[in-house]
Chains A and B, each alone.
Chain A
Amino acid sequence: MPENQIELIAHLARRAGFGATREELEEYAGIGYEATVDKLLDTSTPQWMSEYLIRRYHPDESSMLAGLSGLEAWLYRMITTDTPLLEKMTLFWHGIFATGYPKVLNAKPLSDQIRMFKKYAMGDFRNLLVEMAKDPAMIIWLDNQQNHKDSINENFGRELLELFSMGVGNYTEDDVKECARAFTGWTIGNCEYMELRSARDSDWPYGRISWHYEFDANDHDDGEKEFLGRKGTFNGEDIVKIICEQEAAARFIARHLYHFFVADEPPVPQWPYQPPRDPEAIDQIVQAYFDNKYDIRSVMKFVFNSDFFKSEDCWYEKVKSPAELVTGVMRLTESVDRPQYEHSSRQLRMQYMGQTLSNPPSVEGWDGGTTWIDTGALVERMNFASEELGRVETPGSNELFNKIAFEGDGDIDADRIVDICLKHLGTIDVKDDTRSKLVNYVSKNGVIKVEDQGIDEIGKEKIAGVVKLIASTPEFQRA
């Protein structure tokens, strides 16, 4: 099996998932690149750690009194899922429709929103936008419960156009007002009580109560509106349809997809002033969006099979987000097969790296790219990856030791050990200079011997040392 084929699939696995083990990559290579894309796109029967198990051992991931428990449950799903692309798409939409705990102050609706993203992430973009507009956490986040027939609140309408679908410069202030009118009456049930509980962060007397969407027909403005050049008695669904037909919406989503899956773009606020890194690729994604009638799964199929995605020019051109890094590392350890007391510390480590899911820095979400890297965050990223991957007792480490032991009795060549470790960690292609330093490290630490098809504890620690170093390389920290 050609190594370059596996390397290409490793690139796909890093972008469409959280990386993959060597065994998974070889399995993918066995069916070929395009079939692998299809396999990753098939998210019809996702499996992950049993929800019942999570609820049993972590009750707060079941009812969520605390703000971060929902994301801990999500982290379990990301680490253990057999459909990683679905989780990546969910992360993608969460980054765009960024909704945060400090204002919502009820973790269950936020967790429900993530669940909604997962359901609609890869379908018709129009459905996703409508569901997003009906989402209780989003309604509270952008004050749509205060958007009344006789007194509109523009917040949701404005962000729908600016941050969620088209970007500034593609609509007028009048469009914002008309858009807001169309979404009047889109609120949550028991609004007064739920808002008050939220404002007081009240979980009394019996814990949190989930929120539900409610349409208040009496508070809905069903008069005629003029929106993006069209006239009619538009409601929210009509507005979404009109938005999705706009080239600006296609271009906006295309650039987001490119930014998240292909190569880092500048932060969104700079988009009106800075052209895309690859305008031709954006044009192609726009075309795929219209050709496939807004079906996101089909657009993703186009992206992953495109030349611009496969090009080596974009390999390792993305900095992994903390969520991607933590998930990818834990998947490689293969150690999360059941609920663990230590799990909550992993999301804390993610926070220290600069990302708290369901708590974005602003409504614009996370900028991503090199903004993930500052001195403190980089040290945290390297420490986390090294600590977790350097544990000799994990199933992932044992697999690595077995692979090295399989080389046969005697001293193992340093170059060969580095090669096996790089492949084991997802077929990482490091620069020649980095590679030679890794080889030097192995050589300096003395030979690693295989005796009776096994490696002794000292040998395992030496190998773990190599793994820790690889986890700190720019190539491992990137996707």
Chain B
Amino acid sequence: MATKGLEQGQSLRYVRTVGMTTMRGRGFYYPIDSAMSNSGRLYVLSRSFERAVSDSMRVTMLNEDGEYFGVFGSAGIGDGQFRWPCGIAINDQNRVFVTDEYLNRVSVFNESGEFIKHWGSEGEIEGMFHGPSGIVFDQDNNVLIADSRNHRIQKFTSDGEFLQSFGEYGNGDGCLNLPWGLGVDQQGEIFVADWGNDRIQRFTPNGEFVAKYGSPGRQEGELMKPAGVIVNQEGYIYVADWGNERVQVFGPDGEFVQKIRGQATNSEWAEDFLEVNVEEAGARERANLEPDIDYFNDDPHEESSHIEKLFWGPVSLMLDSESRLFITETNRHRIQVYERDN
């Protein structure tokens, strides 16, 4: 973990790991985004994949301690079903919104997971979607959605009424290339993980370009296909540097301050599994899970595929009421939790 120029209390320290791989029920299957309700309930959206069993594509409800509250959703095109679920967000009424970048719609559920409605359709004109992915609510309880394949951000009311859009395809200031994750800061400014341009862009609440952070690469402060972004109360910018398999922290003005590669340990659910699978637990105990390897290439994706504790597919970021950072990892089917080092 590298740090630089951090103000006191801004350094991140590992706390715990939540979740584990399961195709159904208690667990995650390629989690792609997470959200937390006012009551602290976690909603983890499992992307699964095309050929997997229908109920592997789901939202798992739990709390940080591993208490499990059930699942909702499944693969399909009916009400409450998904094809390529991608983003999840919760509004101040505890309604759960899920984007689907294949079905080009947003599905809305109540906090228990009962389907309420969906809205959206495929197209290029304003209000329509082509690959809706990242989703976040702003301070006015309007919803911002990264309309990825239309290379723009769209704003709607909670009821799905179109308000505005900004961005177009390109790599200039304010232009976007397959945007993914979104964040909103205390002032309502919008942060976009401009995935295809390897940078974060910052916009005013009205969508005017403010600044850009990062450039393509693997060095400190550089980004490779960022997938998620979130800003804490002091304006520090956390980035899920997905293509570099790490999370980076930038200061309020975009200066690099820290990078973390992950240090997962066994979650409660993982411990439960190993407790009843004694043979596997024994072999795991005897294995060297951090072997010294000559990797095929210098893509951190390769290292992460071998070293289990490292981030593999860190895709989305969430802050809880205590400013702890929840990092969802798609390929490791878990969430790593970090807190500020006070």
The answer on a CB contact under 8 Å between B283 and A196 is: yes
Which residues does chain A contribute within 8 Å of B284, judged by CB atoms? Answer: 193
Which residues does chain B contribute within 8 Å of A60, judged by CB atoms? Answer: 30, 49, 52
A241 at the interface (CB under 8 A from B): no
- In the complex, A167 Cα to B203 Cα: how many Å? 66
- In the complex, A335 Cα to B34 Cα: how many Å? 33
The answer on a CB contact under 8 Å between B84 and A57 is: yes
Binds B, one of A203-211, A369-377, A379-387, A454-462: A203-211
The answer on a CB contact under 8 Å between A344 and B21 is: no
How would residues 323 to 355 of chain A score, 1 for a CB under 8 Å from any chain B CB and 0 otherwise?
000000000000000100101100000000000
Binds B, one of A12-20, A62-70, A92-100, A122-130: A62-70
Interface footprint category on B: 35 or more
Binds A, one of B5-13, B165-173, B286-294, B317-325: B286-294
The answer on a CB contact under 8 Å between A193 and B330 is: no
- In the complex, A200 Cα to B276 Cα: how many Å? 14
B90 at the interface (CB under 8 A from A): no
The answer on a CB contact under 8 Å between A62 and B331 is: yes
Q: How far is the CB of A200 from chain B (nearest CB, A)?
A: 7
The answer on a CB contact under 8 Å between B334 and A206 is: yes
Chain B residue with Cβ nearest A203: B21
Chain A residue with Cβ nearest B271: A205
A320 at the interface (CB under 8 A from B): no
Which residues does chain A contribute within 8 Å of B312, judged by CB atoms? Answer: 63, 207
Q: How far is the CB of B83 from chain A (nearest CB, A)?
A: 6
Which residues does chain B contribute within 8 Å of A46, judged by CB atoms? Answer: none
Which residues does chain A contribute within 8 Å of B287, judged by CB atoms? Answer: 190, 192-194
**Interface contact tally, CB-CB below 8 A:** 118
Chain A residue with Cβ nearest B299: A51
How would residues 190 to 220 of chain A score, 1 for a CB under 8 Å from any chain B CB and 0 otherwise?
1011101100101111111110101000000
Known: A60-B30, A190-B287, A190-B291. A196 touches B280 (CB 8 A): yes
The answer on a CB contact under 8 Å between B21 and A341 is: no
The answer on a CB contact under 8 Å between A205 and B306 is: no
Known: A69-B49, A203-B21, A341-B102. A56 touches B195 (CB 8 A): yes
A88 at the interface (CB under 8 A from B): no
Binds A, one of B151-159, B249-257, B261-269: B261-269
Chain A residue with Cβ nearest B46: A59
Complex interface residues of chain B between 38 and 54 (CB less than 8 A to chain A): 47, 49-52
The answer on a CB contact under 8 Å between B296 and A205 is: no
B270 at the interface (CB under 8 A from A): yes
The answer on a CB contact under 8 Å between B225 and A341 is: no
- Of B30, B225, B283, the contact of A192 (CB 8 Å cutoff): B283
- In the complex, A56 Cα to B149 Cα: how many Å? 13
Interface centre among B50, B274, B289, B333 (most CB of A within 10 A): B50
A273 at the interface (CB under 8 A from B): no
The answer on a CB contact under 8 Å between A206 and B283 is: no
The answer on a CB contact under 8 Å between A65 and B21 is: yes
A108 at the interface (CB under 8 A from B): yes
Which residues does chain A contribute within 8 Å of B47, judged by CB atoms? Answer: 59
Complex interface residues of chain B between 20 and 39 (CB less than 8 A to chain A): 20-22, 29-30, 32
Known: A59-B313, A62-B301. A196 touches B21 (CB 8 A): no
Q: How far is the CB of B270 from chain A (nearest CB, A)?
A: 4
Q: How far is the CB of A184 from chain B (nearest CB, A)?
A: 21
How would residues 195 to 206 of chain B score, 1 for a CB under 8 Å from any chain A CB and 0 otherwise?
100000000000
B243 at the interface (CB under 8 A from A): yes
The answer on a CB contact under 8 Å between A206 and B21 is: yes
- In the complex, A472 Cα to B266 Cα: how many Å? 55
Q: How far is the CB of B183 from chain A (nearest CB, A)?
A: 19
Chain B residue with Cβ nearest A192: B283
Interface centre among A56, A115, A192, A344 (most CB of B within 10 A): A56
- Of B225, B273, B283, B286, the contact of A56 (CB 8 Å cutoff): B225
The answer on a CB contact under 8 Å between A58 and B49 is: yes
Which residues does chain A contribute within 8 Å of B180, judged by CB atoms? Answer: 56
Q: How far is the CB of B261 from chain A (nearest CB, A)?
A: 15
Known: A209-B308, A341-B83. A63 touches B313 (CB 8 A): yes
- In the complex, A283 Cα to B320 Cα: how many Å? 72
B58 at the interface (CB under 8 A from A): no
A112 at the interface (CB under 8 A from B): yes
Interface centre among B29, B178, B180, B331 (most CB of A within 10 A): B331
- In the complex, A205 Cα to B302 Cα: how many Å? 19
Chain A residue with Cβ nearest B295: A212
The answer on a CB contact under 8 Å between A189 and B313 is: no
How would residues 316 to 342 of chain B score, 1 for a CB under 8 Å from any chain A CB and 0 otherwise?
000000000000001111100000000
Q: How far is the CB of B211 from chain A (nearest CB, A)?
A: 24
The answer on a CB contact under 8 Å between B84 and A66 is: no
Which residues does chain A contribute within 8 Å of B313, judged by CB atoms? Answer: 55, 59, 62-63
- Of B102, B270, B288, the contact of A205 (CB 8 Å cutoff): B270
Which residues does chain B contribute within 8 Å of A207, judged by CB atoms? Answer: 21, 312, 331-333
- In the complex, A58 Cα to B84 Cα: how many Å? 9
Which residues does chain A contribute within 8 Å of B30, judged by CB atoms? Answer: 59-60, 63
Complex interface residues of chain A between 39 and 78 (CB less than 8 A to chain B): 52, 55-60, 62-63, 65-66, 68-69
- In the complex, A344 Cα to B75 Cα: how many Å? 15
How would residues 82 to 126 of chain A score, 1 for a CB under 8 Å from any chain B CB and 0 otherwise?
000000000000000000000000001000100110000000000
The answer on a CB contact under 8 Å between A209 and B21 is: no
Which residues does chain A contribute within 8 Å of B308, judged by CB atoms? Answer: 206, 209
Q: How far is the CB of A44 from chain B (nearest CB, A)?
A: 16
Chain B residue with Cβ nearest A200: B280
The answer on a CB contact under 8 Å between A204 and B331 is: no
Which residues does chain A contribute within 8 Å of B234, judged by CB atoms? Answer: none
- In the complex, A65 Cα to B46 Cα: how many Å? 14
CB-CB nearest 10 A-B residue pairs: A205-B270, A63-B331, A60-B49, A193-B287, A210-B305, A193-B283, A205-B20, A190-B287, A344-B50, A59-B30
- List 12 interface pairs A-B (beta carbons < 8 Å), by A numbering: A56-B178, A56-B225, A60-B52, A63-B305, A112-B296, A190-B288, A200-B280, A204-B277, A205-B266, A341-B50, A341-B83, A343-B50
Chain B residues close to A by CB (< 8 Å): 20-22, 29-30, 32, 47, 49-52, 83-84, 102, 149, 178, 180, 195, 224-225, 227, 243, 264, 266-267, 269-270, 273-274, 277, 279-280, 283-284, 286-289, 291, 293, 296, 301-302, 305-306, 308, 312-313, 330-334
Known pairs A196-B279, A204-B21. 9 more at Cβ < 8 A?
A63-B332, A108-B305, A112-B296, A193-B283, A204-B270, A206-B270, A206-B332, A207-B21, A208-B305
